[in-house]
Amino acid sequence: MRRLAILLALVAASAASAADGPAPARRAELLHLVRQDCGSCHGLTLKGGLGPSLEPAALAEKDAEQMSFVILRGRRGTPMPPWGAFLSEPEARWIVEQLRKGLPE
Amino acid sequence: MRPLAIAALALGIAACAAPSPRGTGDLGLVVERASGSIMLIETTGRSALGHIGGLGDLSHAAAVFSRDGRYAYVFGRDGGLTKVDLLGAKIEKRVIQAGNSIGGAISQDGRIVAVANYTPGGIRLFDARTLEPLAEVLTGAKVVGIADAPGNRFVFSLFEAGEIWIVDASQPRSPAVTKIKGIGKQPYDGFITPNGRHYIAGLFGEDGLALVDLWNPEAGARRVLSGYGRGEEPLPVYKMPHLRGWAVAGRYIFLPAIGRHEVLVLDSVTWTEAGRVAVHGQPVFAVAQPGGQRVWVNFAFPNNGVVQVIDVPAMKVVRELQPGRTVLHLEFTPRGEQAWISSRDDGAVVVYDTASYAELARLPAASPSGIFLTSRGAMTGF
């Protein structure tokens, strides 16, 4: 009985995180990573640098799945490295959502 | 009697109001990238003298100095060019000169400031005194690695085009351009050696660097350290390395490898590989301590909490320091007795004694990145 309760709790927790994205503490880490580390090529305000702009207007036409793929796997022939060692797929998708909306302050 | 007393009083007031005269040789600034401000510092007492705000987007900001060390020209990512009066601790003048810029340089005679831009790709020349625009050279590609060269020239590389351009600005309103094509794939940064003779661009798109002899630019560029990756798959690069004349330690030039956890050693007499030093991560800055006996190295994400010190004669790491989280930059005092290191995520600038590696000071700063001392104003390539 107790095992079942734990199992159910785990299932509930993972379902919640899949639906709502990363936990709040992790979100703050991810936003810090995007601003600071993505920002070293795309600019601290994400308006572009050596890498292209990541502002909402620049991303509006781009495919969300393709973008999270590029985040995780990088882009051959360009300086964009793969971030898959540091980010899960749901986290990459969540980052894409935030970029398309414009990062919260 | 009375007029004399008043005159003396007035003199006294004037003396109190004016700052006591001081030189600028021990001054510098730290870029506070998140808050768009700079922190003024002095290296004699190792203290912060104040903060100046209103410089815009300072991600990837850089600075050069007037030859008298009084003024700093700060290049911001947002295309802002700000002239800062270090003695007056205030902004003297600020212009937004492009959409997206990456750095700049000051001419040999100190009269022209050149700004390197990504958008629109090119450089713009400004009067160093007034910041009046003088000329623009459009390139159609992102400009990287701008450096001043003797003869009031500026040398830079074009990322997409794989070219090195030499702009003679001795007639600053009508600069003359010499283009060197086919220098290699995706130059990401470049620098001039401290003697002003050789310009070297690091290549991202291939293993190697491009070398131009500015005494003989007609000869074009030659490739050096070609194939240093030995055909192995490169490791991911999470932050681009930076190149400047600080790479030179005596006869040897210490260069971050791209996609390898190594510092490459180039012999500046034979222009062949003199060795390579295994290090902690992807090197970003490899900076020779003045004197050239040691080279200090910091690293890209995720290995960026460490600084390693290479002993030049031994060509190996002899010391590892942990100044704080996310070390972004390091700068030596001109005679090399102190190393100033910025830790972005600890919000601190840490000063080390280079002889004992003892921590001498730890100054709070808001997301500090680049550290620039006025001694750069007297050096070619800075």
What is the rounded average pLDDT for all residues in chain B? 94
- Measured between alpha carbons, how far is B142 from B123 in angstroms, rounded to an integer? 10
Are the Cβ atoms of B59 and A44 closer than 8 angstroms? yes
DSSP SS3 for B203: strand
The amino acid at residue B63 is A
Position of tokens 């004694």? B353
Task: Please list every residue in chain A whose beta carbon sits closer than 8 Å to the beta carbon of residue B58.
Answer: 44
Among A36, A78, A103, the strongest candidate for a mutation testing the B interface, having the largest count of B CBs within 10 A, is A36
Is the residue at A9 inside a domain? no
Check CB contact of B59 with chain A, cutoff 8 Å: yes
Residue A31: exposure state from Cβ atoms within 10 A (0-12, 13-18, ≥19): middle
Nearest to A79 by CA among B278, B160, B328: B160
Query: Residues B10, B353: contact at Cβ < 8 Å?
Result: no
pLDDT of residue B15: 44
Cα separation values, B356 from B141, B294, B312, B321, Å: 46, 13, 17, 12
Nearest to B77 among A37, A44, A82 (CB): A44
Half-sphere exposure of B64 (CA within 13 A, CB side): 28
Question: Strands B37-42, B47-52: parallel, antiparallel or unpaired by DSSP?
Answer: antiparallel
Task: Find the length of chain B.
Answer: 382
Residue A8 lies in a domain: no
User: Measured between alpha carbons, how far is B135 from B169 in angstroms, rounded to an integer?
Assistant: 9
Identify which of B111, B110, B135, B109 has the alpha carbon closest to the alpha carbon of residue B123.
Answer: B135
Give the pLDDT band (50/70/90) at residue B162. Answer: very high
Is B127:B112 a contact under the CB 8 Å cutoff?
Answer: yes
User: Is A45 close to B59, i.e. CB distance below 8 A?
Assistant: yes
pTM of the model: 0.91
Residue B159: both structure tokens together: 């990322």
Q: Considering only the beta carbons, identify the residue of B58, B236, B301 that sits closest to A74.
A: B236
For residue A17, being part of any structural domain is answered with no
Residue B342's SS3 state is strand
CB-based contact B82:B63 (threshold 8 Å): no
pLDDT band at B99 (very low <50, low <70, confident <90, very high): confident
Q: Partners of B308 in the beta sheet?
A: B297, B320
Dump pLDDT digits (tens) for B109-140.
Answer: 999 999 999 989 999 999 999 999 999 999 99
Q: Residue A31 falls within a domain, yes or no?
A: yes
> Are B349 and B41 a contacting pair, CB within 8 Å?
yes
Using an 8 Å CB-CB cutoff, list chain B residues near A74. Answer: 236
Task: Tell me the ipTM for this assembly.
Answer: 0.85
d(CA B359, CA B4): 53
Whether B160 contacts chain A with CB within 8 A:
no
**Strand B90-96, strand B100-106: pairing:** unpaired
At B87, is the secondary structure helix, strand, or coil?
A: coil
Residue A5's pLDDT band (boundaries 50, 70, 90)? low
- Per the structure, the complete domain to which residue A40 belongs is given by 22-101
In a domain? residue A13: no
Give the pLDDT score at B267: 98
In this complex, the residue of A43, A44, A81 whose CB is nearest that of residue B238 is A81
CATH code, domain with A81? 1.10.760.10
Cβ-based neighbours of A1, under 8 Å, separated by 6 or more: none
Cα–Cα dist B322/A101, whole Å: 37
Q: In chain A, how many domains are there? A: 1
Using one digit for the tens of pLDDT, what is the confidence trace for B356-372? 999 999 999 999 999 99
Residues 108-127 of B with CB under 8 A from A: 118-119
A14 part of a folded domain: no
User: Given A40, A44, A82, which is nearest B239 (Cβ)?
Assistant: A40
Classify A42 as helix, strand or coil: helix
Chain A interface residues (partner B, CB cutoff 8 A): 36-37, 39-41, 43-45, 47-50, 74, 77, 79, 81-82, 86
Q: Does A43 contact B77 at a Cβ distance shorter than 8 Å?
A: yes
The H or E element spanning position B26 is: none
Cα of A12 to nearest chain B Cα, Å: 32
Q: What is the pLDDT of residue A3?
A: 54
A78 belongs to a structural domain? yes
Tell me the pLDDT band of A18, cut-offs 50, 70 and 90: very low
Average pLDDT rounded to a whole number, residues B340-348: 97
Residue A2, domain member (yes or no) = no
pLDDT at B19 over 70: no
* Minimal C-alpha gap between A19 and chain B (Å): 29
